[in-house]
Structure 1
Amino acid sequence: MTDKGTAITVRQRTTDRVLVAAGFPVLGAAAGYLLKLLAHRAVSWPWIPWRGPVELLDRAPEPAATVGSLLVGALVGGVIVLMAEHGYVTVTVESDRITTARGGSSRSAPRAAVSGVFADRKRLVVLGEQGEELIAEYRSEGADLPPVDRLAEGFRAHGYPWLPDGDPYREAYRRWVEDMPGLPAGGDALLKARAAALKKDDEKDAAELRGELARLGVVVDDRDGRQWWRDTRPPGRA
């Protein structure tokens, strides 16, 4: 049994992280080499975009051209690894607190405020007493979540109310359309701005706007490229 006073840290499996860290530089190097070979063939084509850079790459002396293409490809793969590391979510479960950390930032919620926790492949959510999201980590906003089975084990070990069936409020969401009634003041404008951010694949802006909506009492879910929302304000404030 787990000691209730012992913090449990849940993160991505080490094997998965090693595969990413080792695999992408190798794949990048292979892609760089293939690009060099393609440049040698492409110079004979009657029309190609960026002919100048392609000819420059084709004329580069050997072995410098091959070594350079391998190094550049590996560096690109290394950048992808760093981006992946930035997105990994680490969850620390304690008897009195839940903390998630990602990319140098963290979020925390006290045990007394938690009414339930659920996770699926696209999100990890810690719910409050009014159904608000005390903590929300979304894959669509750059979060790379630990395996759901390991999360469930960690939360259950400390007695948190784990919700195996997922979001208990899924039927409470309404699809957002511009100027619809029922939203708090400023909510429609924030959802418009977030729709624009999603269209531009601006994960950071979309996440910040989600936070602004949460402060108004609005929880957002993205489904099939559309925004769905629900109201978490107490009845007297709605």
Structure 2
Amino acid sequence: MGPNKTVPGRPSQLKVSTRRVAAMWVTCVVIGAGLGWVLRAVSEWAASVDGMPLRDWISVLAKVPDPYGTVLCVLLGVAFGAEVARRTLKDSVAVSVKPDLVIWRAGKQTRRIARAEISAVYLDGFEDLVFLGTDTGELARANNNLDEDAVKETFLRHGYPFFDADPHLERYMRWVEDLPELSATANALLKARQKALAENAADDAAELRADLVKLGVVVRQNDDRQFYRLVGSPAAKDDATADKVPA
């Protein structure tokens, strides 16, 4: 998918391509079907293991004779895969770009951002499209799923400051508990987010990130480590002992 050609008075539209949507559905459904087949293959063993999650349901599945048991497990796997695809795509961002205005929609959320408010646009890995304000704080962050080349070409063509990565990477510092530089509230939110990351609670981690942004703290992570920077704070000086965030 490529962006629309620029037409005076008309915005360029960026959205998830039909090909990418189809690929997501097919991939998730095929993997789900495979997991269902594996579930059938191990159902009798799993039903005999004490403490196995969903053991009662697995026991029921194990008692269904073939071929019905296999078909049922595969269909359950397909349904699971379809739900994963639906949840992944439902909040995918669609962006309308004009020289003076960006309108992005993610799920039920809509945000209008004037060009004058934006100091940087970048893709954070393969996950998020990020807009930074003139104070270096995050104006918006949304699940990407867009064509990376089309995103870059569109924003550059409309005169936006597009970066291949966060332009303030050198300002991030490793977070540890109870840092005096941060408020008690920010430290508490980062501690809660650390727990959410450890438990793979992505939605909770995203909500806590948004709460931190409101406090003027921008956060990113690498594996189970969190790094932060303060909005509007000067760039940190090089320090041989500092644990800097990796690119």
**SS of 1:186's equivalent?**
helix
Could you say which residue in structure 2 is the equivalent of 1:133?
Answer: 138
Could you say which residue in structure 1 is the equivalent of 2:237?
Answer: none
Taking the TM superposition and a 5 Å limit, the aligned residue runs for 1:1-238 are 2-39=6-43, 42=45, 48=49, 56-61=60-65, 63-121=67-125, 122-137=127-142, 143-164=143-164, 166-184=165-183, 186-233=185-232
**SS of 1:159's equivalent?**
coil
d(CA) in 1 for partners of 2:167 and 2:112?
A: 21
d(CA) in 2 for partners of 1:61 and 1:76?
A: 22
Change (3 A) 1:129 1:55: closer
Change (3 A) 1:126 1:144: closer
Change (3 A) 1:177 1:81: same
**SS of 2:103's equivalent?**
strand
Give the TM-score taking structure 1 as reference length: 0.80
AA in 1 matched with 2:194: A
Give the TM-score taking structure 2 as reference length: 0.77
Change (3 A) 1:66 1:230: closer
Unaligned runs of 5+ in 1: 138-142
**SS of 2:76's equivalent?**
helix
d(CA) in 1 for partners of 2:184 and 2:58?
A: 55
AA in 1 matched with 2:86: L
Shift of 1:30: 4.2
AA in 1 matched with 2:136: G
Aligned 8 A contact 1:5 1:95 in 2:
no
What are the superposed Cα offsets for residues 118-147 of structure 1, whole Å, 9 maximum, x if unpaired?
22424322121111111123xxxxx24313
Unaligned runs of 5+ in 2: 235-247
**SS of 2:162's equivalent?**
coil
What are the superposed Cα offsets for residues 96-131 of structure 1, whole Å, 9 maximum, x if unpaired?
222332232233321111112122424322121111
Aligned 8 A contact 1:108 1:135 in 2:
no
Q: When the two structures are aligned, how many residues end up with a matched partner?
A: 226
The alignment-based identity, stated in percent, is 35
Change (3 A) 1:24 1:230: closer
AA in 2 matched with 1:5: G
Q: Which has the larger radius of gyration?
A: 1
Aligned 8 A contact 2:28 2:81 in 1:
yes
**SS of 2:129's equivalent?**
strand
Change (3 A) 1:75 1:131: same
Q: CA RMSD in A?
A: 2.9
Shift of 1:155: 0.8
d(CA) in 2 for partners of 1:163 and 1:55?
A: 53
Change (3 A) 1:148 1:179: same
Change (3 A) 1:104 1:163: same
d(CA) in 2 for partners of 1:95 and 1:151?
A: 14
